[in-house]
A = this chain, B = another copy of it.
Amino acid sequence: MIDPRVASGTRDILPALAIQRNWIVTQFKDTFERYGFVPIDTPVLERRAVLYSKGGEEVQRQVFEVAARGQTLDESELALRFDLTVPLARFMARHVDELGVPFKRYHIGLVYRGERAQRGRYREFYQCDFDTIGSRSALSDAEIALVIHDGLRAAGVPAFTLRLNHRKILHGMLDSLGLVEQSGHVLRSLDKLAKIGRGPVLAELQFGERRQGGTADAVSDPADENDASTGVIAESPDAPASAAESDRILSLDNAARILDFIEAAGAGRPSAVLAQLDKQIGSNSIGRAGLENLRTVCGLLLAAGVAEESMIVQVGLARGLDYYTGMIYETMVTGHENYGSVCSGGRYDDLAGLFTDRQLPGVGASFGLDRLTQLMADAGWLKSSSTIAQVLVVNFQESDWPQFVKIAAELRAAGIACEIFPESTPLRDQFGYASSRGHRFAVIAGPDEIAANAFALRDMTTRQQQKNLPRAELVSRVAAALQTPNR
């Protein structure tokens, strides 16, 4: 016997979860399509030359390499993609002349990372990305936030906040301080502010993250579905004892000025934070450009009907990806902030520079599909059922099978998903099947019912039966019963 277990870091998805996840995906797809985003597909199996072109060192170390049986890894050029962004860059470089710009695509697909397996982290998982390529317009920026908003509404998330920021506001501040060179380091440190607080970030700004003693964890990236952990970085006080002055990256003054700027601006309703930023930024042209872009985006969101209460401008929002150059998006579900962001992204200047001379700016975000599914299931916002069919046609005796098949065909033609129990087993077993799967009703067409032309409909929840339904009314009575709320 072969052990039927799955490989470490992978999982089987049983029907109840698959139904929930498919339902959320359908809401997202519908939303993308309502905004004119179109689907594409690219291979999971890519050339290593493509995959090794980009992505952080951490991600590069986690690539899975592939070889046809009988080949060695060195004889093959293949690997499994680790995100949908590098493939998008390759895809755009290859097809941009045919596609034209602006080009708005969504892509839901599997990606792979050879992480050490641990609870809630998978080596095979889905990403759900959407991007507008080839436009620098603030309208495209606003649209990304609108898709997040409409997508979560469609999925039935009752309350959430769009957290917005603009990289140029931070860059402008660093420009004023003469610290543009250190911006990568500063952004990576700032990204932890909400998690670990001012003290540790102040130390890290001065001496770098390796000095912190805590785990040098990558930024929580909902795009990769995999980092459901938050707040895992150990608290640590100011500068560690081991920090030597020679290792200093920023002066205490500059580190404090950075944090003062962010804390003064704060995080809150766009109107308040934008007004405050207007004072703080002064005449720095980079900062002003960022502020105006952010102001336009917030104005468009309000115009589209997004409530101001569901928007937060949060100047500390940095997101560690060096890649972003403009708008930054995160999304927190109200009351469930501990799950981290369920949709994040930003604007970038140059998607595909490694593959083409053509500069392709863009803006996009990625839903954390597995994380959101888990959050919504935990919150009780998802219907849980192991069946999609709502009606079971009970199977009495083989000689009546043609009757059952006819009844089922009529129900389906009326748009009612139903199944016939395949065997003429005791009624108790068939009701057990319906109860355990979650069918709402059972159609009872036994020999007596067929002889009397008087059928019965059993409510599987209440166990009550409507009796004496004439055959001609059976479908309409089932349809009517399904309209009543499920207790």
Interface on A for B, CB 8 Å cutoff? 1-7, 10-15, 18-19, 21-22, 33-36, 38-47, 49-50, 53, 60-70, 72-73, 77-80, 90-91, 93-95, 98-100, 102, 104-105, 110, 112, 114, 123-124, 132, 135-140, 142-143, 146, 150, 296, 299-300, 303-305, 352, 354-357, 386-389, 392, 395, 401-406, 408-409, 412, 417-423, 433, 436
Query: What B residues does A389 contact at CB under 8 A?
Result: 33-36
Q: Given A43-B124, A73-B67, A114-B69, A14–B303 Cβ distance below 8 Å?
A: no
Query: What B residues does A11 contact at CB under 8 A?
Result: 43
Contact A132 B422, beta carbon cutoff 8 Å: yes
- How far apart are the CA atoms of A272 and B47 in the complex, in Å? 55
A-side binding surface: helix, strand, loop or mixed?
Answer: mixed
Contact A36 B388, beta carbon cutoff 8 Å: yes
- How far apart are the CA atoms of A398 and B487 in the complex, in Å? 52
- How far apart are the CA atoms of A157 and B317 in the complex, in Å? 52
Partner of A45, one of B10, B303, B417, B423: B10
Contact B40 A15, beta carbon cutoff 8 Å: yes
CB of A108 to closest CB in B, whole Å: 10
- How far apart are the CA atoms of A445 and B395 in the complex, in Å? 61
Q: Given A69-B64, A110-B110, A386–B42 Cβ distance below 8 Å?
A: no
* Given A7-B43, A72-B73, A139-B395, 14 more pairs with CB closer than 8 A: A1-B354, A7-B46, A7-B77, A15-B105, A34-B412, A35-B419, A36-B387, A43-B124, A64-B78, A65-B67, A65-B69, A102-B421, A304-B405, A305-B409
Query: What B residues does A392 contact at CB under 8 A?
Result: 36
CB of A458 to closest CB in B, whole Å: 17
Contact B12 A95, beta carbon cutoff 8 Å: yes
CB of A23 to closest CB in B, whole Å: 10
Contact B47 A303, beta carbon cutoff 8 Å: no
Query: What are 26 A-B interface contacts by the 8 Å CB criterion?
Result: A2-B53, A4-B94, A4-B355, A6-B47, A6-B90, A6-B94, A7-B43, A7-B46, A12-B42, A13-B41, A14-B40, A14-B98, A18-B40, A35-B412, A38-B386, A43-B124, A45-B64, A45-B123, A45-B124, A60-B69, A62-B68, A73-B73, A137-B422, A146-B405, A303-B401, A305-B409
Contact A49 B2, beta carbon cutoff 8 Å: yes
- How far apart are the CA atoms of A104 and B104 in the complex, in Å? 37
List 3 A-B pairs, minimum CB-CB distance, nearest first.
A36-B419, A68-B114, A10-B43
- How far apart are the CA atoms of A34 and B409 in the complex, in Å? 10
- How far apart are the CA atoms of A65 and B395 in the complex, in Å? 46
Partner of A139, one of B65, B102, B401: B401
A61's closest neighbor in chain B, by CB?
Answer: B69
Contact B13 A38, beta carbon cutoff 8 Å: no
- How far apart are the CA atoms of A136 and B80 in the complex, in Å? 40
Contact B124 A44, beta carbon cutoff 8 Å: yes
- How far apart are the CA atoms of A33 and B1 in the complex, in Å? 33
CB of A440 to closest CB in B, whole Å: 13
